[in-house]
């Protein structure tokens, strides 16, 4: 993996492919390359490092009006030019780019070696062009389909042949691929970012489908070789939404976009007349919703942390038993799907492999699975039984920020919706609704502590270990704060329920290990303050994120970050913001690549 782009049309392909790869940088990668069809064969340029390194190596006048490109995130084989995509067959006439993992590549490689094929890389991908060559007889699409019959695993691929000018064949199985429909030109990408500067019309492929495109059009067929008719969808994102807009990094921009992104998630969904939330995409009748006896949520990473908040909220407010689980564990556990249970699959990209596969397994067992996604047209959005789009807009930085708070908004809306159908009074519904409507302004106020947070980050950025602690709804926020610090600064950090500090983590407390406590003005406040005093008694520095005006808390900690006072059920929105900024500024102090941290990809489409 990580990013695919293809172009066939009247323009020079090289600049378009390079532009597409640049827009796919946010997915994370370690090398990149392009292959372009020319009158005398395929011309390929591959480089380790950033897109700019590849761009500098591509001849400025490189001809050719069709080709494919790729950003690679190493899975099989090290980060070397030989392992960089595109990969060619032994003749050099066929080039392939590939996202995913071919699980049976060793057996295929051994078979091809016995047939005289010499391999040049350590990758699983290189078996694909050589399999295509084995079956090629003047029809690239037919050869690709014959080759696919041998592949086990996940793939999104794009293939070109020197003898078929202007033709690209793509295929999808577990790794996203979509077609960009232009005016006299066609594009291919692992997501719409690859071609958003050229067209806003997109066709999404489903698993098991193959697409053949030329400048004049495209044809999709399924596993049974039947034609598939599919209309193009409109991409509503504008180019300006994926530019830095004066910010030094996408991550900082996206942190500061959160008042607006949360507002979009709430937009049109707050029903003032009935003191409830409107969620038209659930696709569940009221009788079914009333009968729901349990809610289960599957997710990964940051989305799992949002789900932990959501399930706690559902239990405490809507009084529905709820549980959030790691999708990677659920799939292989043979989960019990009870009658009356409702499931959610939560994913920013809507393409997270662990979550998608777990969702399909649960659906096979007869459950309804609703999606909470940001990307319209993504696989989870299309395959789920209904759900909620969070409308964050494009999130470019690998570490998620605004999508997290928008996912929180979706859970708060669903909780209000379910609670009002059950035991929540109208008066309580009005209070909850008013607090939820006020969240964007409260987040805006929390962001005003930017300079204070930057100074605190400068003070502590050289520490090698951190503890993050919270209770109740703020325990998942502690987990998220620790994850953010790990992701982008590479500082080791652990999140704990504050009440667990004495059950092991207190052994780590010392002057070199700061603790970050989240302290709300709720019934657990005094207990968290007791935990802080335990840490202080052992010489541990304490940073507290607390409610503005809490003089007692500010007096006992080393550094204090205020957030505005609000209904205590809504502090997850405001208390995560300082943790995002703290991680961001620590990473800057350490000279990290904030938007593209090492070893991470934006959309993890392999297990």
Last residue of a domain, one of 200, 235, 270: 235
Range of the domain at 160: 2-235
Q: Say yes or no: 173 and 279 in one domain.
A: no
User: What does pLDDT average to over the chain?
Assistant: 92
The residue annotated as part of the active site, out of 2, 88, 373, 586, is: 2
Q: What is the CATH number of the domain that holds 53?
A: 3.60.20.10
Q: Say yes or no: 226 and 262 in one domain.
A: no
Q: Say yes or no: 308 and 368 in one domain.
A: yes
pLDDT more than 90, % of the chain: 79
Task: Check if the beta carbon of residue 405 is closer than 8 Å to that of residue 397.
Answer: no
Could you report the per-residue pLDDT of 83-113, keeping only the tens digit for each? 999 999 999 999 999 998 899 999 999 999 9
Q: Say yes or no: 18 and 159 in one domain.
A: yes
For range 141-151, the mean pLDDT: 96
Q: Is 486 domain-assigned? A: yes
DSSP 178-190: EEEE-SS-EEEES
Q: Say yes or no: 155 and 261 in one domain.
A: no
Active site (annotated) includes residue 134: no
Q: Say yes or no: 361 and 414 in one domain.
A: yes
Q: Choose among 462, 464, 577, 582: nearest CA to 516.
A: 582
Q: Say yes or no: 426 and 286 in one domain.
A: yes
pLDDT confidence of residue 167: 97
Nearest 5°: the CA angle 521, 476, 351 is 140
Could you report the per-residue pLDDT of 32-72, keeping only the tens digit for each? 999 999 989 999 999 999 999 999 999 998 999 999 999 98
pLDDT confidence of residue 239: 57
Last residue of a domain, one of 235, 265, 286: 235
Q: Choose among 330, 321, 325, 323: nearest CA to 362.
A: 330
Q: Is 357 domain-assigned? A: yes
Q: What is the CATH number of the domain that holds 378?
A: 3.40.50.10490
Active site (annotated) includes residue 244: no
Q: How many domains does the chain have?
A: 3
Confidence label for 597 from pLDDT (cuts 50, 70 and 90): confident
Q: Is 241 domain-assigned? A: no
Q: Is 240 domain-assigned? A: no
Q: Is 84 domain-assigned? A: yes
Confidence label for 583 from pLDDT (cuts 50, 70 and 90): very high
Could you report the per-residue pLDDT of 227-276, keeping only the tens digit for each? 999 888 887 666 556 678 789 999 999 999 999 999 999 999 999 999 99
pTM of the model: 0.81
Beta strands in 341-480 (DSSP E): 341-347, 368-373, 387-389, 465-470
Q: Is 603 domain-assigned? A: no
pLDDT confidence of residue 197: 86
pLDDT confidence of residue 601: 67
What's the distance, Cα to Cα, between the start and end of the chain in Å? 12
Q: Say yes or no: 91 and 159 in one domain.
A: yes
Give the DSSP H or E segment for 585: helix 571-589
Could you report the per-residue pLDDT of 367-414, keeping only the tens digit for each? 999 999 988 778 888 899 999 999 888 888 889 999 999 999 999 999
Could you report the per-residue pLDDT of 480-518, keeping only the tens digit for each? 999 999 999 999 999 999 999 989 989 999 999 999 999
Q: Say yes or no: 273 and 419 in one domain.
A: yes
pLDDT confidence of residue 238: 60
Q: Say yes or no: 128 and 226 in one domain.
A: yes
Last residue of a domain, one of 411, 437, 463: 437
Q: Say yes or no: 340 and 299 in one domain.
A: yes
Q: Is 97 domain-assigned? A: yes
Q: Say yes or no: 301 and 171 in one domain.
A: no
Q: Is 604 domain-assigned? A: no
Give the DSSP H or E segment for 534: helix 525-537
The residue annotated as part of the active site, out of 50, 253, 402, 602, is: 602
Task: Check if the beta carbon of residue 3 is closer than 8 Å to that of residue 24.
Answer: yes
């Amino acid at each position: 993996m990580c990013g695919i782009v293809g172009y066939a049309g009247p323009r020079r392909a090289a600049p378009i492919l390079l532009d597409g790869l640049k827009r796919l940088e946010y997915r994370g990668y370690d090398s990149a390359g392009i292959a372009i069809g020319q009158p005398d064969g395929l011309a390929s340029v591959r480089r380790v490092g950033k897109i700019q390194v590849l761009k500098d190596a591509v001849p400025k006048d490189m001809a050719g009006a069709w080709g494919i490109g790729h950003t690679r995130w190493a899975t099989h084989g090290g980060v070397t030019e030989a392992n960089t995509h595109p990969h060619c067959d032994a003749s050099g006439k066929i080039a392939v780019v590939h996202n995913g993992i071919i699980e049976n590549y060793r057996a295929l490689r051994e078979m091809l070696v016995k047939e005289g094929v010499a391999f040049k890389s350590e990758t699983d991908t290189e078996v694909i062009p050589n399999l295509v060559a084995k079956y090629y007889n003047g029809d690239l699409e037919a050869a690709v389909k014959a080759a696919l019959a041998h592949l086990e695993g996940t793939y999104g691929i794009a293939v070109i042949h020197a003898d078929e000018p202007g033709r690209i064949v793509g295929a999808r199985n577990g790794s996203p691929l979509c077609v960009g429909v232009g005016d006299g030109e066609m594009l291919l990408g692992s997501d719409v970012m690859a071609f958003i500067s050229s067209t806003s019309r997109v066709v999404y492929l489903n698993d098991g489908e193959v697409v053949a495109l030329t400048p004049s059009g495209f044809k999709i067929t399924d596993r049974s070789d039947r034609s598939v008719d599919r209309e193009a969808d409109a991409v509503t994102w504008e180019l300006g939404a994926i530019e830095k807009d004066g910010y030094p990094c996408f991550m900082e921009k996206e942190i500061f976009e959160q008042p607006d992104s949360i507002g979009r998630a709430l937009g049109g969904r707050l029903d003032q007349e009935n003191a409830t939330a409107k969620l038209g995409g659930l696709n569940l009748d009221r009788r079914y919703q009333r009968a729901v006896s349990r809610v289960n949520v599957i997710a990964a990473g940051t989305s799992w942390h949002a789900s932990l908040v959501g399930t706690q909220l559902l239990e405490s407010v809507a009084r529905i038993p709820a549980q959030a689980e790691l999708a990677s564990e659920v799939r292989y556990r043979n989960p019990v799907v009870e009658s009356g249970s409702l499931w959610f699959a939560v994913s920013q990209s809507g393409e997270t492999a662990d979550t998608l596969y777990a969702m399909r397994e649960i659906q096979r067992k007869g459950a309804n699975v609703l999606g909470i996604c940001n990307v319209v047209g993504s696989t989870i959005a299309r395959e789920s039984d209904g759900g909620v789009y969070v409308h964050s807009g494009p999130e470019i930085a690998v570490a998620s920020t605004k999508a997290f708070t928008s996912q929180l908004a979706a859970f708060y809306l669903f909780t209000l919706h379910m609670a009002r159908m059950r035991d929540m009074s109208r008066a309580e519904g009005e209070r909850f609704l008013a607090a939820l409507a006020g969240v964007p302004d409260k987040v805006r106020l929390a962001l005003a502590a930017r300079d204070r947070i930057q100074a605190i980050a400068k003070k502590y950025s050289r520490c090698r270990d951190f503890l993050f602690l919270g209770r109740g709804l703020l325990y998942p926020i502690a987990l998220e704060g620790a994850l953010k610090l790990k992701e982008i600064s590479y500082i080791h950090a652990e999140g704990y329920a504050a009440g667990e500090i004495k059950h092991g983590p207190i052994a780590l407390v010392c002057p070199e290990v700061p603790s970050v406590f989240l302290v709300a003005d709720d019934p657990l406040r005094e207990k968290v303050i007791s935990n802080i005093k335990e840490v202080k008694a052992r010489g541990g520095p304490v940073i507290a994120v607390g409610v503005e005006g809490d003089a007692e808390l500010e007096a006992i900690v080393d550094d204090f970050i205020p957030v505005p006072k609000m209904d205590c059920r809504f502090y997850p929105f405001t208390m995560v913001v300082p943790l995002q900024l703290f991680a961001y500024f620590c990473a800057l102090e350490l000279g990290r690549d904030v938007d593209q941290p090492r070893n991470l990809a934006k959309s993890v489409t392999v297990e």
